[in-house]
A and B are shown apart, each in its own frame.
Chain A
Amino acid sequence: MATMTTLPVRRYHQRLPWSLPWQRDAHGTVGGMRQHATRHELAEVMARVAAGEQAAFAHFYDATSRSVFGIVLRVLRDRAQAEEVTQEVYVEAWRAAGSFDPLLGSPSAWLNTIAHRRAVDRVRSAERSVARDQRHFEAAETLHGADTADLVVAADEGQRIRAAVEGLPEAQQTALRLAYFEGRTYREVAEFLEVPLGTVKTRIRDALQRLKKQLGGQPDERS
């Protein structure tokens, strides 16, 4: 139990409204709450979704769809397929809403796990019938140029995160991009970069640990 106190949920907890509204803070916000969908609000929406409220699900979609569509599109690189998979993701989220547990993470982390997993599954099953060389070619293109331009399509709130990713040492950045954004296994990444398996794992670990330190565990729920 001792470890629980260091988890993100604790940090989130400190952002709960401690003061009553007659104690307005300097920013004119009430009780320290910001006006967009906070993690807490999104978790409330989730509870209503779990209870079968379709209107709540519409809110949930509006608060999260840019992020979901963005990562699915990034992994699949095909709008038609990305739309199809995004719809599957939300149907799965609707069906599985009852299993969402706020003690195990934020709603956006839960949803993102479903979305990323689905996109990766799709791209891997597609690869069974498509020449690997083609994918390698695309990945090479990604590494040398397409990257930054591609990331710039995202809106402002991604700025800080993109800066953090771009601030990673190049080797770490490459490993992370190939694994997370291209949906490759670490074995494929190693093969592609012609480095040992352990090296790829180390790079992914270092990248994630560094990002965790820089970004913390608090996704902004708006996108």
Chain B
Amino acid sequence: MNDPDAQVYPYVVAALPPDEAADFQTHLAECAQCRAEVKELREVTAQLSQSVATEPPPALRDAVLAAIARTPQPPLSNAQSRPDDVSTASPRRDREVTAEPTTATVVSLHRSRSGRLPALLAAAAVLAALALGGWAFQARQEAQQTAQEVTANTQRLTELLSASDVRVVSGQVTTTGGTGTVVMSPSRKRAVFVSTALPELPEGKIYEAWTTTDREPVPAAIFSAGEAKTAVSLPAAVIDAQSVGVTVEPAGGSPAPTSKPIFTVRVPRA
């Protein structure tokens, strides 16, 4: 009766009656093409809402922040299936969210049952995946790997991730298309660079990390990459820097970069 692929348009503007919306969600779980279309159209409808943007009353902000302060967040494994639990019109909407059960986020979040620290590890995995963008499949694998490694091996990073003021920022490693992530905490005065995407360098070459402010880059660390993973401790100066970059330098490092950066991220402000 209804061509399922044609339902995607009324679906994204919430114009399907409940029974048809439910049917379409069933279809969505099986149809990657429609999922991709929904994803793109949701960016369009978000812009439609921007076209009617209206300043809410200031008191609403206070009310919202007070409300979330007394609202516990469910464990992440539950949140996964509950984004629309109150939606009366489409009780099966959760299918859309779980339609891609193999994504890094889903996998890592499911591992994150207990509390704050795993949630942050998951957040790091999310960001790693985000930074990878179009190379989504690769992102999934790498993000999972990052979370696992981090959990298993890197005590310093684990401590850092448990800091209440932790900041996490990811960017692309240009040589491999993989992800590098900088994790930092002002209160711990510590930062770590993590990547699963740095290839081993030929003899006589080394990686050098830099921090930059308004002036020239300052050396932050030199390191080599072995196997599949890298975790490098960076100086606290990273926290106040504008950005962190990595270049390939002659063995022993350089006082100033001699090549184009293979990785760079802006340091987020608190």
Q: Is B242 an interface residue (CB 8 A)?
A: yes
Q: Is B129 an interface residue (CB 8 A)?
A: yes
- Of all chain B residues, the one with the shortest Cβ separation from A215 is B47
Query: For the complex, what is the distance from the CA of A103 to the CA of B55, rounded to whole Å?
Result: 30
How many residue pairs bridge A and B at CB < 8 Å? 341
- Of all chain B residues, the one with the shortest Cβ separation from A162 is B51
Q: Which residues of chain B have C-beta atoms less than 8 A from A161's C-beta?
A: 47-48, 50-51
Q: Which residues of chain B have C-beta atoms less than 8 A from A9's C-beta?
A: 130, 133-134, 136
Segment with Cβ contacts to B, from A129-137, A138-146, A201-209: A201-209
Contact across chains for B45 and A4 when beta carbons are under 8 A apart:
no
Contact across chains for A98 and B50 when beta carbons are under 8 A apart:
no
Contact across chains for A21 and B268 when beta carbons are under 8 A apart:
no
Contact across chains for B84 and A208 when beta carbons are under 8 A apart:
no
Q: Is B10 an interface residue (CB 8 A)?
A: yes
- Number of interface residues, chain B, beta carbon within 8 A: 101
- Which B residues fall within an 8 A CB radius of A? 6, 9-10, 12-17, 32-33, 36, 39-57, 60-61, 63-65, 67-69, 71, 73-74, 76, 79-84, 86-90, 93, 97, 100, 103-106, 109, 116, 119-120, 122-124, 126-127, 129-137, 139-140, 167-169, 171-172, 174, 210, 212, 214, 216-217, 242-243, 245, 257, 261, 264-266, 268
Contact across chains for A201 and B88 when beta carbons are under 8 A apart:
no
Contact across chains for A20 and B243 when beta carbons are under 8 A apart:
yes
Residue of B69, B124, B139 touching A103 (CB-CB under 8 A): B139
Main secondary structure of the interface of A (DSSP, over half): helix
Q: Which residues of chain A have C-beta atoms less than 8 A from B93's C-beta?
A: 117
Contact across chains for B41 and A50 when beta carbons are under 8 A apart:
no
